[in-house]
Copies of this chain bind each other. A is one copy, B any other.
């Protein structure tokens, strides 16, 4: 079979090829390709033409190997799950901020598995990413420490880490939940329940703490029977809600501390036709939550801002910022859609 232009994997033209065709030195080709000044216009023209003719494509991998700064113009993003809305929005914001600087993003999902996180940190650093943005699966992370010591700046997102000298971007989970609880109290609720995710997750703990603080601030009694933690996924939340509402003295308002938990809670409320009578405030926004009746009121984070901020901190480091670790804490925003505004028995 004769070799055709359709043959995959055939060697593409190099700078040397372009140089010989244009009748110039290879260094000149490099200068033209990189848009460096100080090349005679006619030579530049010849080089451009030859490159076009040969279908020359600049090889960034070889370039960054030789270049003094050794930048690959690539950064690694380690998230929980690329398919999850929070991660996806974060990803997009990081991508956009990186794109402004000609940087591409390599993404990987951990599914909250520390082993996968370690693996991703390793393959990313093996590819010499310029930096790492990570939603860490655990508080202690020796792999991240190693990466940073190896010269790769790291920014942690959504949760803190024990790794040293690592910038972080988190959200004021406590304040968000505190405010929600105060709101429910003011609307006349006295029996307020809390439904939270696995306590191994830092944000779950923070939100629980905010709940306790909020009750205390409002001077409201904390009923231990109304606290349900360790719920992972919608199913568990659905069941827990059924149990809560079957209590002799059921709650009149519910605070759910995570996305899928909110969905489960609402499902049960609808099963029992109580969605217009039992108040509900969820943490984290849900897509199309305003299509429901009543709409689900939420304490929303802004994943886009988080991603932008994280990328900005990272590029700062790449630009030479050498100061101590910085910890940005973003605020949440309460979105009133109806379910959080249902009045309680002590309403005025």
Question: Residues of A with Cβ closer than 8 Å to B?
Answer: 5-10, 12, 55, 57-62, 64-65, 72, 74, 81-85, 87-89, 91-92, 95-96, 99, 102, 104-109, 123-128, 146, 148-151, 153, 165, 263, 266-267, 270, 286-289, 291-293, 317, 322
A149 to B55, Cβ gap below 8 A? yes
Contact of A88 among B85, B125, B270, B289 (CB under 8 A): B85
> Which chain B residues lie closer than 8 Å to A96 at the CB level?
109
Q: Across the interface, do A128 and B60 meet the contact criterion of CB distance under 8 Å?
A: yes
Complex partner residue of A57 from B60, B62, B125, CB under 8 angstroms: B125
In the assembled complex, the CB of A173 is this many whole angstroms from the nearest CB of chain B, namely 22
Instruction: State the CA gap A283–B92 with chains docked (Å).
Output: 24
Q: Which residues of B contact A289 (CB under 8 A)?
A: 288
Shortest C-beta distance, A118 to chain B (Å), equals 13
- In the complex, the answer to whether B105 meets A106 with C-beta atoms within 8 Å is yes
List residues of chain B with CB within 8 A of the CB of A88: 82-85, 87-88, 91
A109 to B148, CA, bound (A): 29
Q: In the complex, which residue of chain B has the Cβ closest to the Cβ of A83?
A: B92
Cβ-neighbour of A61 out of B12, B82, B89, B128 (below 8 A)? B128
Q: Smallest Cβ distance from A189 to chain B, in angstroms?
A: 23
How far apart are the CA atoms of A125 and B88 in the complex, in Å?
24
Find A8's partner among B60, B74, B87, B151 (CB 8 Å cutoff). Answer: B151
With both chains docked as a complex, state the minimum distance between the C-beta of A15 and any C-beta of chain B, in angstroms.
13
Q: Contacts A82-B91, A92-B82, A150-B12 given; indicate if A65 touches B57 (C-beta within 8 A).
A: no
Decide if A85 touches B287 in the complex (CB within 8 Å).
Answer: yes
CA gap between A12 and B151 in the complex, in Å: 8
Task: Kindly report which residue of chain B lies nearest to residue A123, judged by CB atoms.
Answer: B104
Q: Which of A88, A106, A128 has the most CB of B within 10 A?
A: A88
Cβ of A287: which chain B residues have Cβ within 8 Å of it? 85, 286-288
CB distance from A5 to the nearest CB of B (A): 6
> Are B127 and A60 in touch, CB under 8 angstroms?
yes
Which of B9, B104, B124 touches A127 (beta carbons < 8 Å)? B104
Known A-B contacts A83-B92, A146-B55; the reply to A151 vs B106 at CB < 8 A is no
- Once the chains bind, are B126 and A58 in contact (CB under 8 Å)? yes
B-chain residues with CB within 8 Å of residue A83 when the two chains form the complex: 85, 88-89, 91-92
Q: Are A95 and B108 in contact (CB under 8 A)?
A: yes
Distance from A295 Cβ to chain B, minimum over Cβ atoms (Å): 11
Indicate whether A65 sits within 8 Å of B61 (C-beta atoms), given known contacts A89-B83, A95-B108: yes
Q: Evaluate contact between A105 and B107: CB separation under 8 angstroms.
A: yes
CA distance in complex: A10, B106 (Å): 23
Is there contact, CB below 8 Å, between B150 and A57?
Answer: yes
CA distance A151 to B107 in the complex (A): 24
Q: A64 is contacted by which of B61, B102, B150 (Cβ under 8 Å)?
A: B61
Contacts of A104 in B (CB 8 A): 106, 108, 123-124, 127
Q: Which residues of B contact A317 (CB under 8 A)?
A: 8
Nearest-CB residue, chain B, relative to A164: B6
